[in-house]
Amino acid sequence: MPPAEQPGIDMDTAQQDTAGQLEELFGLKDVSYKINLSKDELFHEAIANDRGRVTKDGPDDAQKAFPTKLGTDGPLVYYTDPTCTGRPVQDTFAVAWPEIEETVWWKKDFKKFDPAKYEGLLKRVVAHLNEKKASLYVKEVYCGADPFYAVPYRFVGEYATHALFAHNMFPKDIAGVEGEDGKRWTLLNVPSFHCDPERDGTFSGRAVIMDLKNRIGLVVGRADYCGVVKKTMFTVMNYKLPEMGELSMHCSANIGNTGDGAILFGLSGTGKTTLSADPERLLIGDDEHAWTKMGISNFEDGCYAKLIDLNKEAEPVIAAALSMPGTIIENVPPLPGKKMEDMDPQDLDLTDNSVTENTRFSYPLSCNPNVAEGAKGPHPETIVLLTADAFGVLPPVSVLEGKDVMYHFVSGFTAKLAGTEVGITEPQAAFSACFGAPFMSQKPSVYAERLAEKMKTNDARCILLNTGWSGGVYGVGSRISIKHTRALLDAAFNGDLDEGKVEYEMHPVFNLKMPKSCPGVPSEILNPRNTWADKAAYDAQADKLRDMFRKNFEDKGFGALGIEPAM
């Protein structure tokens, strides 16, 4: 049925233009559209129409979205394909057009896709949609809160849940973006099309492909994890911003009562969302930002938090948002013997990992009571590099200066926690350049140089904050308490860890400056060796981790990129 004849939708001129643009871009002729539906409408559409696989051996037409007892006054609960409860990094590509091939940072989780194969695949996906006379949801949003760089982002897909997610996660109204049609990115999300690797050039039946030349994202097959809708655009922005001479960052950001800005770099599970949701500070955002000549601004208009083992007392903002309308809970099952329709969201068992360790929650920034106006802020005074050390040997906090900042930024060490990526079932040590290597579409030295320039220009301090383990390796020691982590972070914000304010000692293995005292934190835990009963075991683990840092530095060729070794 042509879009203009679709029941229940008054196709105004703007909507007709959208349909015409999609026909011109893709060749979509025999599909119908539901364009810019409200959150309530998308809520009901998801429950009625989103169908796919939700269990390993289950059918492809199972219900994927459910209400709770709160109905539209509460969250939508959504279940991904069981093989895609995290980002499908091994199935993520960019089209290797000759014009961009030399500038992209190619790697195992951002591989080259043959242009001819891509063109053939895209035609087959469009033919599939035309043949089935697909009904597609369209949501018009932006990526970026500042019109200086904001990109119009058009989501087009089969699932209303994904359209609702785009509505939650991205700004809707950014005034002053010039030449929108020439900047727009379009994501075509088609879970019902399953690839043939031999024919299509994919690694499996699914693929996430970015066409940086033509501003198209293509998501096909069992890749229906909501995070794909946002991380695809983050990867795009990581290509675009450096070309403008600005810095794109995988970080959270907030502003203190005195107007002091801060950014917190870190991989999933290290505390970006938790630590940025501070009732004493204004939130700019929890995950993706730009640092431009105007200051810090959010790419997004929402948060995408991990829910597993959520401590509601420690994280009251996220806990309260669980019961707010239009939010999305991902992969949390109902209590045994109960239907989700009968559940109060606050009664859900957030320790239940029977679906995945990577349970998630999407909610608008407006759910936070302390949001910075326009999701923007000043140039930051404090840079925080977050890590979750599963070896239990890094200090809870270290003060970084000069070359140490660049070294730890490009190293990006943490423990990759279970479930954040497909195939990761238990924590393991990982090095991820710029604390987000899979999304960094240009070479890491590009981002390091931009960071160094902006820190120098704005006289920003930097700390390495360990939110991982103390007193032993993962499974033996205990995770550093969030109370102590927040006290360390507050001390850094207040300048209590600055030169002249506190005494330091140098870590003999990592060459890190460790403060000897910090308000609200037991001094004995500041040197991690003190927390181990077996000092020889600590020394052995510290040497092991140091050697891993050195090997990563050598393997990645950071020296040739102008980064100086720090250990």
Only one residue has tokens 């390993």, namely 56
Q: Active-site residue 287, yes or no? A: yes
**DSSP class per residue in 365-417:** GGGSSSB-GGGEE--EEEEEEEE--TTS-S-SEEEE-THHHHHHHHH-EEEE-
Selected catalytic residue, list 162, 222, 289, 360? 360
Selected catalytic residue, list 53, 64, 87, 222? 87
CA-to-CA distance for 438 and 264, rounded, in angstroms?
Answer: 18
CA-to-CA distance for 245 and 363, rounded, in angstroms?
Answer: 31
Selected catalytic residue, list 139, 154, 167, 231? 231
CA-to-CA distance for 139 and 164, rounded, in angstroms?
Answer: 8
CA-to-CA distance for 260 and 258, rounded, in angstroms?
Answer: 6
**Packing angle of the helix pair 535-556, 403-411 (nearest 10 deg):** 90
CA-to-CA distance for 69 and 66, rounded, in angstroms?
Answer: 10
The distance from CA 132 to its chain's CA centroid, rounded to whole angstroms, is 33
**DSSP class per residue in 162-230:** HHHHHHHHS-S--TT--SGGGT-EEEEEETT----HHHH--SSS-EEEEETTTTEEEEESS---THHHH
Only one residue has tokens 């002249």, namely 500
* In contact, 155 and 167? CB cutoff 8 Å: no
For residue 550, which amino acid is it?
A: R
Q: Which helix (H) or strand (E) holds 123?
A: helix 115-131
**Residue 518 gets which letter from DSSP?**
B
Alpha helices in 394-479 (DSSP H): 403-411, 444-458
Selected catalytic residue, list 34, 162, 230, 250? 250
Selected catalytic residue, list 80, 273, 362, 467? 273
At 447 the three-state DSSP class reads: helix
Selected catalytic residue, list 34, 154, 230, 272? 272
Q: Which helix (H) or strand (E) holds 155?
A: strand 151-157
Selected catalytic residue, list 81, 211, 287, 352? 287
Give the CA count within 13 Å in the CB-facing half-sphere of 259. 3
Only one residue has tokens 């960019």, namely 94
Q: Active-site residue 403, yes or no? A: no
Q: Active-site residue 250, yes or no? A: yes
Least Cα distance to 223 among 56, 82, 362 occurs for 82
Q: Active-site residue 338, yes or no? A: no
Q: Active-site residue 272, yes or no? A: yes
Only one residue has tokens 């987000």, namely 436
Q: Which helix (H) or strand (E) holds 262?
A: strand 261-265
Q: Active-site residue 461, yes or no? A: no
Instruction: Copy the structure tokens of residue 169.
Output: 């996660």
CA-to-CA distance for 44 and 555, rounded, in angstroms?
Answer: 50
Q: Active-site residue 550, yes or no? A: no
Q: Active-site residue 268, yes or no? A: yes
| CB atoms inside a 10 Å sphere around CB 51 | 17
Least Cα distance to 263 among 488, 447, 493 occurs for 493
* In contact, 272 and 264? CB cutoff 8 Å: yes
Q: Which residues of 9-24 are buried (b: 16+ CB within 10 A; e: fewer)?
A: bebeeebeebbeebee
* In contact, 262 and 382? CB cutoff 8 Å: yes
Q: Which residues are catalytic?
A: 87, 231, 250, 268, 272-273, 287, 360
